[in-house]
Structure 1
Amino acid sequence: MLGPDKEEVGDAGEGDHAGEDEQIKSERDPNLVTWDGPEDPENPKNWSFKRKWAATLIVSSFALISPVSSSMVAPALLTMAKEFHVTNSAVTSLMLSIFVLAFAVGPLFVGPLSEMYGRVIVLQTSNLIYLFFNLGCGLANTKTQMIIFRFLAGLGGSAPLVIGGGVLSDLFRPEERGKAISIYSLAPLLGPAIGPIAGGFVTEHTTWRWAFYATTIADGLFQITGLFFLQETYPPILLDRKKKRLIKETSNAALYTQWDNLNCTAIQAIRISLVRPFKLLGSQIIIQVLAIYMAFLYGIIYLVLSTFATLWVEVYYESIGIGGLNYISVGVGLFVGTQIAAPLQDRIYRTFKGRNNDIGKPEFRVILMFPGAFLVPLGLFWYGWSAQYQIHWIMPNIGAAIMAAGIIIGFQCIQTYIIDTYTTYAASAVGSATVLRSLAGFGFPLFAPYMYANLHYGWGNSLLGFLAIGIGWPAPLLLWRYGEMLRMRSPYAAG
């Protein structure tokens, strides 16, 4: 376990000359254990392409399966309510949304724990918790069991949504990070769209319990794959292992790393780490602004998805199975948005870095937020009014796809900006932002029926569109102008 005594110091290892700086420090102090130069193969940023992407894809798979679980049960809710003798609609909704509520609690703990004990042990342990309690949901016999197991499964399933950002921060340099973030960011948003498609057909042809059995089997395969191909990436943990190996080889007990704190007890280290996400969310204006915007985007996609079942079945008179296929439009929008953002993020970053004396800045991620912020309200207006006037079914789907593309572009830019800004503490920073995001995913669908009952699809989605303009358009402008100033005032930010 590492004592995070350097908490008030920026991450010295993120810049382009990090390896050189560490080598100089090592020469000044022969007892300081660092990487052996900028090309050290033990440094995760110098791993091979295959090794990096194996870790990226495994973490992204973990980050996909739990959001699939969050929504896959949606088509079966009425069947479950009947079997468990639930007559209160709020309790029925709770069986679905309690999973997402757990996403707001888990990140506050798993993020900092991964910065103390390492990414892999926390990620794999949390995934096991998700696996066992998700299976428990399939075996539940009462509504109380279902709600408790769903919450505990959500706690375990929240880990990859937080730790994945830290893993990518460990593996990729800023100018390489965009494509990896694009793949990873797609998973939490694609999951809620895939879930109902699979859940609709599972419910029609088997029982609702197979919605849980299927995700448990898939997650078990990911867990086994992770045991073989997911390796530790967190530099403080890797350097601590290197230090212990060198002490054993040289018998020099004075060796230490820059993250050691010889005066910090285990209890103090745990307290500091667990408090850090709360401090970040409470004191960092950048985290607060980005968390609010990310929460709004996440809430919108959950809110719109919550209207799909009613729209396609009651307005367009489609069956549950066929109606579920309309979720594909959201998946298409997310995929297209990813294909746009993935190559452009790194290209834009490298271009602006070259114009800035080869010095990178997180603000270079903001450029792509502008088109994303334009597409979100456009898609909401398109979806809302085409559904209001019951135009051909393809039209609401096009609007939903445009909205989803804008959301994933904005989502990826926010994630990358946070990771670039808080590198050593990327997991805690992403965890802080995930809290509000998950609360929005939990809360937005709860008021959706009341909003659409009063405003209908046209004005209901127009209200969201105007909010997207009011929140989304100023955000990138403010970040571009004031982001660097705010970073310079932060003791947690890189550099």
Structure 2
Amino acid sequence: DLDWDSPEDPDNPRNWPLWQRILHSAIPALWSFGLNVGISSLVAAIPILQRQFDLSRSVALLPVTLYTLGFSIGPCIASPLSELYGRRWIYWTNLPLLIIFNAIAAASNNFVVLVVFRLLAGVGGSGILGVAAGSLTDIWDTRDAARVGVSYILAPFLGPALGPLIGAYVLEQYNNDWRWSIWVILCILAPVALTLPFMKETSKTRILYLRHKRCGHGLVDMTATSRIQTIQKGLLRPLHMAVFEPLSFLLGLYTAYSFAMIFSFFGSYAYIFKTIYHFNSKQIGLCYIPLVVGFLLAVVTFGAFDAVKYQKVLRNHGKVVPEDRLYAAIWGSPLVPIGLFWWAWAPHASVHWIVPALAGLLVGWGTLLAFLTNMTYIVDVYGSANSASAVAANGLLRFVLGAAFPQFIIQLYHSSIGIYWAGSIFAFLSLALVPVPWYFFYRGRYLRQSSHY
């Protein structure tokens, strides 16, 4: 096997100058943020699309739904390709696809064209979600990668939470032209586009392969058949793990449901704050701020548990098991159902709007805390060989549910059960998932032993 010449090998990304490592860490973080802002920035423009194209709300939401659905496909394609051609080519190909397809969608005067190219933008631009975590571990050692990766991990949550606010203010600035709720994505991604040509390869395997090839060493290239087989195997592995691997499936379902509840807020926030409190789009966007505060509290809480529990066990015993990662999720597991029950029953005309808005703080806190814990648990369980596929499997479930939930939220709130019991349905389902981290804490060892991977 090829390896670095020495620990000080200058081609090793961990030995690059600090500014290069920061640049290569900032690119995926900002890219992921802009990509995820694009999920919800168009939400504020849904009423405009309804009027312009004479659509129902469910149909008008398709550019949001299919863009999100594309996030479950893109990483599954990018991950096996990155194993063959390195991570840099994923960055270099995905950003042009994201920009071009979003630009065509924004410039269109046809709703079908808008929907199709938003789907293509989601698929073509989301490959970064399958390779960025690997890029960070290429560049930083294990201790620093967790800290540096916080900005990247926050992006899939901050983006959708801030998107409605960004979209509402952009629409007001540009005379309710819905196209600007898409153009704003490209504005956010502009710094990425400017710095991307200077990006270098970070994959150890690819760097060493190209270096030995340049030096004229005899390396055997993969045949076309073996390349196809590698891609097929890489494409199918996340799907297999998401459906047939019990550990991956249960963790994916647990994080996907909480994640989908944040996406459901795109519908329920708009309906509740407009119907009961008569808010406009800008005011509704501001109501997402407690959600963002909850995300920040989750990062602090996760760091505290990591320092107090995980690192303490490591120091005292010299080794840890993956289940030692789950303390934060166990502590935070009740937060999401409490927040959802709060959100379900707090909205009344006689109750100040800040009371239901603050429910988002607990939902955001519990959701991101579960996500951070489960991601570190997955990486510890599956190791470097299969963790990328396990993370992709988790993302597949998250974005499929995230795409589906906004489609039926308004119909449920409009139904005969009313807004309070409609919200309670989701809270009860979340309550049923509270024991999941406890189950993994006590039974995870046996699930790992029966794993296919």
Q: TM-score, with normalisation over the residues of structure 1?
A: 0.83
SS where residue 361 of structure 2 aligns? helix
* Residue 248 (structure 2) aligned to one of 264, 267, 287: 287
> Deviations 1:16-72 (Å, cap 9, x if unpaired)?
xxxxxxxxxxxxxxxx42134556554445556554443222211111111111111
The amino acid across from 1:269 in the alignment is T
What are the ranges of 5 or more consecutive residues in structure 2 without an aligned counterpart?
none
The amino acid across from 1:63 in the alignment is S
> Deviations 1:279-336 (Å, cap 9, x if unpaired)?
3334432221111112101111111232111222221122222222112222222122
1:145-184 to structure 2, matched below 5 A, reads 145-184=113-152
* Residue 139 (structure 1) aligned to one of 96, 103, 107: 107
SS where residue 25 of structure 2 aligns? helix
SS where residue 231 of structure 2 aligns? helix
Q: Is the 8 A contact 1:127 1:159 kept in 2?
A: no
Q: Is the 8 A contact 1:193 1:327 kept in 2?
A: yes
The amino acid across from 2:166 in the alignment is A
1:48–1:351 Cα change, 3 Å? farther
* Residue 32 (structure 2) aligned to one of 63, 71, 85: 63
1:417–1:235 Cα change, 3 Å? farther
What is the aligned partner in structure 2 of residue 75 from structure 1? 44
Q: Is the 8 A contact 1:178 1:346 kept in 2?
A: no
What is the aligned partner in structure 2 of residue 9 from structure 1? none
What is the aligned partner in structure 2 of residue 28 from structure 1? none
Deviation at 1:265, TM superposition (A): 2.8
Q: Is the 8 A contact 1:114 1:427 kept in 2?
A: no
What is the aligned partner in structure 2 of residue 26 from structure 1? none
1:168–1:275 Cα change, 3 Å? same
1:89-488 to structure 2, matched below 5 A, reads 89-206=57-174, 207-228=177-198, 230-245=199-214, 247-248=215-216, 252-253=217-218, 265-342=226-303, 344-345=305-306, 348-357=309-318, 359-388=319-348, 390-420=350-380, 421-453=382-414, 454-471=416-433, 473-488=434-449
Seq. identity, %: 29
The amino acid across from 2:405 in the alignment is F
Q: Is the 8 A contact 1:112 1:427 kept in 2?
A: no
1:303–1:218 Cα change, 3 Å? same
How far apart, in 1, do the equivalents of 2:102 and 2:394 lie? 25
SS where residue 368 of structure 1 aligns? helix
How far apart, in 2, do the equivalents of 1:48 and 1:389 lie? 57
1:118–1:348 Cα change, 3 Å? farther
How far apart, in 2, do the equivalents of 1:489 and 1:328 lie? 42
1:390–1:306 Cα change, 3 Å? farther
Greater relative CO, 1 or 2 (CA 8 Å, sep 6+): 1
> Deviations 1:212-258 (Å, cap 9, x if unpaired)?
22211221321222332x4322222123224324x42xxx52x68xx
How far apart, in 1, do the equivalents of 2:129 and 2:325 lie? 20
How far apart, in 1, do the equivalents of 2:22 and 2:132 lie? 12
SS where residue 441 of structure 1 aligns? helix
What is the aligned partner in structure 2 of residue 6 from structure 1? none
Q: Is the 8 A contact 1:182 1:342 kept in 2?
A: no
1:368–1:436 Cα change, 3 Å? same
Q: TM-score, with normalisation over the residues of structure 2?
A: 0.90
How far apart, in 2, do the equivalents of 1:487 and 1:264 lie? 33
How far apart, in 1, do the equivalents of 2:18 and 2:340 lie? 39
What is the aligned partner in structure 2 of residue 24 from structure 1? none
How far apart, in 2, do the equivalents of 1:458 and 1:45 lie? 53
The amino acid across from 1:184 in the alignment is Y
What RMSD, in angstroms, separates the aligned Cα atoms of the two structures? 2.6
What are the ranges of 5 or more consecutive residues in structure 1 without an aligned counterpart?
1-31
